[in-house]
Amino acid sequence: MLSIVVISYNYARYLPTAVESALIQDGPREVIVVDDGSTDDSMEVLANYRDRIQVIQKPNGGHASAVYTGFMAARGNTIIFLDSDDVLYGSCASVVREHMSKGTSKVQYRLDTIGAEGEDKQLPFPDYAPGMDPDYVFKTAVEKGWYPCPVTSGNAWSRQYLATVLPVPDDRFRNNTDGYLNVLAPLYGKVISVPQVLGAYRVHGGNHWAGGGNLAWSRYLRHEIERHELFQQHAERLHIPVREDALLHSPQHLECRMLSLRFTRERHPVPEDRRPALLARSAQGLMRSPDLSVVARLIWTAYLALLAVAPVALLERLVPMLRGAEGRSGWVRKVISWTRARPPAAPAKQIATPVGPVPSRKCLEDAGASL
């Protein structure tokens, strides 16, 4: 059975869409809503569904505690934690069931990006390259400390994996549950990457990671470093060797680190960093990344050099254009596509494209609800 656990906190406006999108999933399933001490009209909204869902109300304790409460109540062998401002598309459950198997820690899928009113931002994520099988995910994780993975709502977890790593350490990961669960998944089982878009992630001012703009880069970097330290600790327990300088081979980490250094120097988590030395180490790490093409290595190196030398005033305009959730121009999308890491040709395994129904990408119609 599939358990869909909706994590709710003061999103009464979006809650009906999330709950309806969970209820339309086919096959054996249960829907549980954990309300983490909402002070808005969430409980009144949930009263309309009490005959079809299980509602658990608890004092506010943060995302991690709500996830653990939902896990303890869930009966399914596969569990999706759906944030209450996000949505699942109609075929999500059937595609997940097709790919979940013994020894799998999670099935991950892509998400559309939508705005506060449900408008499509034309920015589906993450990018799963053809041939990105579990072996490639594991190899990338131990060599780079990172692999392409979605936010909370883009994962279907095996109960066995969750039972191994939950509860989330509340001191460091109180509101970064997806980071905690994602980073450890390759160590404890197969990570299956499905190329379909099976849900939507809503970007609005209330998202935990949405606020702060360029000033948030030091916070992102601090969490990334904490996740990698956690990964190293678990890998050591499991006697899995991890590359010492793994993060310096991840373009995404290098970008985050340079942006933190430029925008938030006084709060930068690596105080010994200096731009010339960091750029030199970045170029060295990128040139040793075999899954990046020569073109990708050159583009990343040039981009990091731009971040290192450009005036902050220019970066304040440029970075949101390149990374923003409001969409990117065609030429930016094209250049970004050239920077993607690609698994080696003819991998040992291939992730088969699901033969079932293709999920709709119209989240409001698919969920059978309107905002």
Q: What band does 341 get if pLDDT is binned at 50, 70 and 90?
A: low
Question: Which position has the higher pLDDT, 347 or 125?
Answer: 125
**What is the distance between the alpha carbons of residues 292 and 33, in angstroms, rounded to a whole number?**
42
Question: Which position has the higher pLDDT, 129 or 251?
Answer: 251
* 202 and 296 assigned to the same domain: no
* 25 and 127 assigned to the same domain: yes
Q: Name the percent of the chain lying above pLDDT 90.
A: 69
User: What is the domain range of residue 121?
Assistant: 2-211
Q: What is the mean pLDDT of residues 181-208?
A: 91
Instruction: List the beta strands (DSSP E) in the chain.
Output: 2-8, 29-36, 54-58, 78-83, 87-88, 104-114, 155-158, 190-202
3-state secondary structure (DSSP) of residue 42: helix
Q: Are 91 and 359 in contact (CB under 8 A)?
A: yes
Q: Of 216, 284, 211, which Cα lies nearest the Cα of 254?
A: 284
pLDDT at 75: 98
pLDDT at 253: 93
* 243 and 173 assigned to the same domain: no
**What is the distance between the alpha carbons of residues 93 and 11, in angstroms, rounded to a whole number?**
24
* 19 and 166 assigned to the same domain: yes
Residue 203 lies in a domain: yes
Which pTM does this prediction carry? 0.85
**What is the distance between the alpha carbons of residues 271 and 274, in angstroms, rounded to a whole number?**
8
Q: Are 33 and 19 in contact (CB under 8 A)?
A: yes
pLDDT digits (tens, 9 = 90+) for 324-337: 645 444 544 555 55
| The total number of structural domains that make up the chain | 2
pLDDT digits (tens, 9 = 90+) for 255-299: 999 999 999 999 999 999 999 999 999 999 888 877 788 888 899
Question: Which position has the higher pLDDT, 248 or 138?
Answer: 138
**What is the distance between the alpha carbons of residues 342 and 193, in angstroms, rounded to a whole number?**
14
Q: What band does 86 get if pLDDT is binned at 50, 70 and 90?
A: very high
Q: What is the mean pLDDT of residues 44-71?
A: 97
pLDDT at 350: 34
Q: Beta strand 2-8 with 78-83: parallel, antiparallel or unpaired?
A: parallel
Residue 55 lies in a domain: yes
Q: Beta strand 87-88 with 190-202: parallel, antiparallel or unpaired?
A: antiparallel
Q: Which of 154-163, 174-183, 276-285 has the highest mean pLDDT?
A: 154-163
CATH number at residue 33: 3.90.550.10
pLDDT at 280: 95
* 77 and 200 assigned to the same domain: yes
pLDDT at 339: 55
Residue 353 lies in a domain: no
Final residue of a domain: which of 211, 240, 260? 211
Question: Which position has the higher pLDDT, 297 or 194?
Answer: 194
* 157 and 239 assigned to the same domain: no
Residue 360 lies in a domain: no
* 26 and 145 assigned to the same domain: yes
* 97 and 163 assigned to the same domain: yes
* 148 and 297 assigned to the same domain: no
* 171 and 287 assigned to the same domain: no
pLDDT at 174: 85
Give the pair of three-digit tokens for residue 113: 């990006």
Type of residue numbered 46:
L
Q: What band does 358 get if pLDDT is binned at 50, 70 and 90?
A: very low
* 202 and 314 assigned to the same domain: no
Cβ neighbours of residue 106 under 8 Å, at least 6 residues apart?
A: 155, 156, 157, 158, 161, 181, 185, 189, 191, 192
Bridge partners (DSSP) of residue 53 are: none
* 149 and 244 assigned to the same domain: no
pLDDT digits (tens, 9 = 90+) for 87-139: 999 999 999 999 999 999 999 999 999 999 999 988 899 988 888 999 999 99
